[in-house]
Amino acid sequence: MSLIEGLLQTSSTVTLLGTVLFLLVLYLRSSGSSFEEQGKEPPGPRPLPLLGNMLQLDLKKPYCTLCELSKKYGSIFTVHFGPKKVVVLAGYKMVKQALVNQAEDFGDRDITPVFYDFNQGHGILLANGDSWKEMRRFALTNLRDFGMGKKGSEEKILDEIPYLIEVLEKHKGKAFDTTQPVLYAVSNIISAIVYGSRFEYTDPLFTGMVDRAKENIYLFDSASIQIYNMFPWLGPWINNLTRLKKNIADVKMEVTELVRGLKETLNPHMCRGFVDSFLVRKQTLEV
């Protein structure tokens, strides 16, 4: 072995040893071995450096793992999703105490990277701040006016039932998968509230939007997207993220066209749905 080869081998060994020691220090620090850190956060499983508790989580059904952990660590415990520390509240009583009894303190939402990619912190569900509060108040008030959470929604459900029955009768009592027609029926009830009208079950625009929404739910819950939320720098190598971005872009384009059509036929004195109410409110603020 030459002197240069020996030096290189020694250097590699030192580098490897240094890396191992560095990771060990990180592990000991993150495991709560420091007396100064004890008692400052809820208990939980010991995290690994960088990975956190990822190896202990079922990434396809993380809620199942969290339910199991709550049996061991109680209704408040700490979990590390990769390098990100998360405090988990488990159980109806604890969640109610936080979200209802102390709603002001627990009002903000954690916007994961994948959701921030698509809404940039705007919207009703996954947003924070004064703008979110105003949008939430507007949405709750106006959705109630169109029957959401009230008896008025029964009328829209009853209006949709004949169309669903028509689809079911086509099968003449034979067994079939009811998932798709029921999904279309529910989506049409939502469309009646939001847009003020329903779609035919054979309308390609409607079926495309519903099918993409169904696929997006699967993609958001996929293990690869959970990993992306923990390590956003992995984005370029995650196929599900690429597919999700395309679906969201298509949905935005289609919804934009629907809203454009509603805007062109808007009558401020006769709101057909939630979108009309929003457009009227927007016009009022612009005047």
> What is the pLDDT, as a whole number, of residue 268?
86
Give the separation between CA 273 and CA 206, rounded to whole angstroms.
Answer: 17
Give the whole-angstrom CA distance, residue 78 versus residue 42. Answer: 6
Q: Percentage of the chain with pLDDT > 90?
A: 28
Q: Where are the alpha helices (DSSP H) in 3-102?
A: 3-30, 62-73, 92-96
On whether both 133 and 262 belong to a single domain, the answer is yes
Residue 117 lies in a domain: no
Do 102 and 183 reside in the same domain of the chain?
A: no
Q: What mean pLDDT is predicted for residues 140-160? A: 77
- Are 203 and 155 in a shared domain? yes
Task: State the pLDDT confidence band at 200, using cuts at 50, 70 and 90.
Answer: very high
- Residues above pLDDT 70, as percent of the chain: 84
Q: Verify that 82 and 214 share a domain, yes or no.
A: no
The pTM (predicted TM-score) of the whole model is 0.71
144/263 same-domain check? yes
Q: Within a domain: residue 124?
A: no
Stretch 94-117: mean pLDDT? 83
Nearest partner of 243 among 215, 263, 223, judged by Cα? 215
Q: Are residues 199 and 261 in the same domain?
A: yes
What digits encode the pLDDT tens for the residues 215-244?
998 898 888 998 898 899 888 899 999 999
Query: pLDDT tens-digit profile of 10-20?
Result: 444 434 444 44
Q: Considering the domain boundaries, does residue 209 fall inside one?
A: yes
List the domain range (segments joined by +) for residue 17: 1-40
142 or 18, greater pLDDT: 142
Greater model confidence, 34 or 90: 90
Q: What are phi and psi of 187, to 5 degrees?
A: -65, -35
* Higher pLDDT, residue 60 or 253: 253
212 and 147 within one domain: yes
- 72 and 212 co-located in one domain: no
Judged against a pLDDT cut of 80, whether residue 182 lies above it is answered with: yes
Same-domain status, 275 and 134? yes
Q: Is residue 116 in a domain?
A: no
In a domain, 123, yes or no: no
Give yes or no for a contact between 117 and 107, defined as CB atoms under 8 angstroms apart. Answer: no
Tell me whether residue 122 is in a domain.
no
Yes or no: say if 189 and 197 are a contact pair by the CB < 8 Å rule.
Answer: no
What is the pLDDT, as a whole number, of residue 25? Answer: 42
Considering the domain architecture, whether residues 238 and 277 belong to the same structural domain is answered as: yes
Considering the domain architecture, whether residues 191 and 151 belong to the same structural domain is answered as: yes
Domain contains 269: yes
202 & 70 share domain: no
Domain assignment present for residue 113? The answer is no
Q: How many domains does the chain have?
A: 3
Q: Range with the lowest mean pLDDT among 94-98, 208-212, 239-243, 262-266?
A: 94-98
Whole-number pLDDT of residue 145 = 75
Residue 79 phi, psi dihedral angles, 5° rounding: -135, 145
Q: What is the CA radius of gyration of the chain?
A: 26
Residue with tokens 């969290």: 66
